[in-house]
Amino acid sequence: MKKNILITGGAGFIGSHVVRLFVNKYPKYKIINLDALTYAGNLENLSDLEDSDNYSFVKADINDQEVLEKIFRTYDITDVIHLAAESHVDRSIHDPLAFVKTNIIGTVNLLNVAKSYWKEDLSKHLFYHISTDEVYGSLGRDGLFTESTAYDPNSPYSASKASSDHFVRAYNETYGLQVVISNCSNNYGPNQFPEKLIPLFIHNIKERKSLPVYGDGQYTRDWLYVVDHARAIDLVFHDGKKGATYNIGGFNEWTNLDLIHVLCKKMDQKLGREPGSSAALITYVIDRPGHDKRYAIDATKINKELNWSPSLQFEEGLEKTIDWYLENADWLENITSGSYVEYYKKQYKSE
């Protein structure tokens, strides 16, 4: 069947890698990238696709029902891969309503438009919702998040994502909309906005600015290279069981401090600086309120059912990421000279 796939949030970090994979791998599909181009959306992320025949970009907000209806009609949308979201935990602490608006109301708006446009035969269409491991809350020293772990979100961001997951599932149960959900761990790689740990610290080391470590730095995250997440999304979209959830993770846990030390060492080498000079920038700052102690994904289900596993070792992925940021200084410069500067001052109470 010919597919006209609406990918929301395609100008953001993960979305841009998903759009690129689908446009290049599936020339017969038409990919429509819908993005509001908030501070996190950047069309520079997709400049290599501008001339592709099977790719279109539409600037729109998922809260705008009329515009969404028009897009569904104009492109005869057959499937949705929904990534558009407010995605940064610290911002959600400053402004929870922005997260309610996009992540919950925006998602329900999109579900309504899809359900209505596909009403003749819901079985022919798929609404794929991209979510996060943060919906499961925080782990202690042991254990892993599985698909049956109870939801227990702690931040306004994770609460909004949990709510959107529930709505997606409810549209499946109540209206018969075909859905699939995946919950992924921390992504890293090219094009990530420098408010998230890895790109922020790469940028600050370059600029010899302090590295703000929250609390004691003994928080654990499970890191996955973004292209491996995009590969997983491709598999779940095509072969995932309808109505199911898939956890996606890197089998790759690091405490923040251990990760930061590896990053500092690599940055010293890449920048030809004295060993230890990046680590000397580490500064312990006040902790994130409600900071989740540990995330770790059990990705056995997607591994067994869809034969997915991460392709890159962490150190290799980190090297590629650092190289990309150093080679794309303009990308970072364009971003950090914009509204991000105001956010940085507010978050870190700095100059």
Query: Residues with catalytic annotation?
Result: 133-134, 157
Partner from ligand NAD, ligand DAU, none binding residue 279, C-beta < 5-8 Å depending on class? none
Q: What is the DSSP string of 254-282?
A: EEHHHHHHHHHHHHHHHHTPPTTTTGGGE
The listed partner (ligand DAU, ligand NAD, none) that binds 12, CB under 5 to 8 Å by sort, is: ligand NAD
| Residue 161 lies near ligand NAD (rule: CB under 6 A) | yes
Q: State the nearest-atom distance from the C-beta of 62 to ligand DAU, in Å.
A: 17
x/- contact string, 16-45, with ligand NAD (CB under 6 A)? Answer: -------------------xxxx-xx----
Which residues sit at the interface with ligand DAU, rule CB under 6 A?
Answer: 87-89, 132-134, 185-186, 196-197, 200, 212-214, 219, 221, 256, 288, 295
Minimum distance of ligand DAU from residue 245's CB (angstroms): 15
Q: Closest Cα partner for 41 from 59, 18, 65, 63?
A: 59
Sort 142 into a burial class: Cβ within 10 Å, 0-12 / 13-18 / 19+.
exposed
Q: Give the residue with the Cβ less far from ligand NAD, 15 or 240.
A: 15
Q: How far is the CB of 18 from ligand NAD (least distance, A)?
A: 9
In the chain, the amino acid numbered 236 is V
* 184 belongs to the binding site for ligand NAD (CB under 6 A): yes
CB closer to ligand NAD, 159 vs 281: 159
Q: How far is the CB of 212 from ligand DAU (least distance, A)?
A: 4
Shortest distance (Å) from residue 57 CB to ligand DAU: 22
Q: Find which of ligand DAU, ligand NAD, none residue 61 binds, CB within 5 to 8 Å per kind.
A: ligand NAD
102 lines the binding site for ligand NAD (CB under 6 A): yes
- Asked whether 332 and 204 are in contact (CB, 8 A), the reply is no
Task: Please pick, from the candidates 5, 6, 7, 9, the single residue that binds ligand NAD as defined by CB under 6 A.
Answer: 9
Total residues binding ligand NAD (CB under 6 A)? 30
Residue 235 burial (CB count, 10 A): 17
Is residue 177 within 8 A of residue 111, CB to CB? The reply is yes
For the chain, the helix, strand and coil percentages under 3-state DSSP, each to the nearest 5: 50, 15, 35
Among left, alpha and beta (phi > 0; psi -120 to 50; other), residue 231 is alpha
Tokens of 152: 């227990």
* 325 CB neighbour count, 10 Å cutoff: 22
126 near ligand NAD, judged by CB under 6 A: no
Give the separation between CA 277 and CA 325, rounded to whole angstroms.
19
Q: Which sign, positive or negative, has the C-alpha torsion 207, 210, 212, 217?
A: positive
**Ordered alpha helix ranges (H), the chain:** 13-25, 65-75, 89-94, 96-99, 107-117, 156-175, 197-206, 226-239, 256-271, 300-306, 314-327, 329-336, 340-348
295 binding partner (options ligand DAU, ligand NAD, none; Cβ < 5 to 8 Å by kind): ligand DAU
SS3 call for 128: strand
Stretch of 65-73, 182-190, 198-206, 290-298 contacting ligand NAD, by CB under 6 A: 182-190
- Report the nearest approach of ligand DAU to the CB of residue 282 (Å): 10
Contacts for 284 with CB less than 8 Å, ≥ 6 apart: 213, 215, 216, 217
Determine which residue in the list 23, 71, 81, 83 makes contact with ligand NAD, applying CB under 6 A: 83
135 interacts with ligand NAD by CB under 6 A: no
Residues that bind ligand NAD in the complex, under the rule CB under 6 A: 8-9, 11-15, 35-38, 40-41, 61-63, 83-87, 102, 106, 130, 132, 161, 184, 186-187, 193
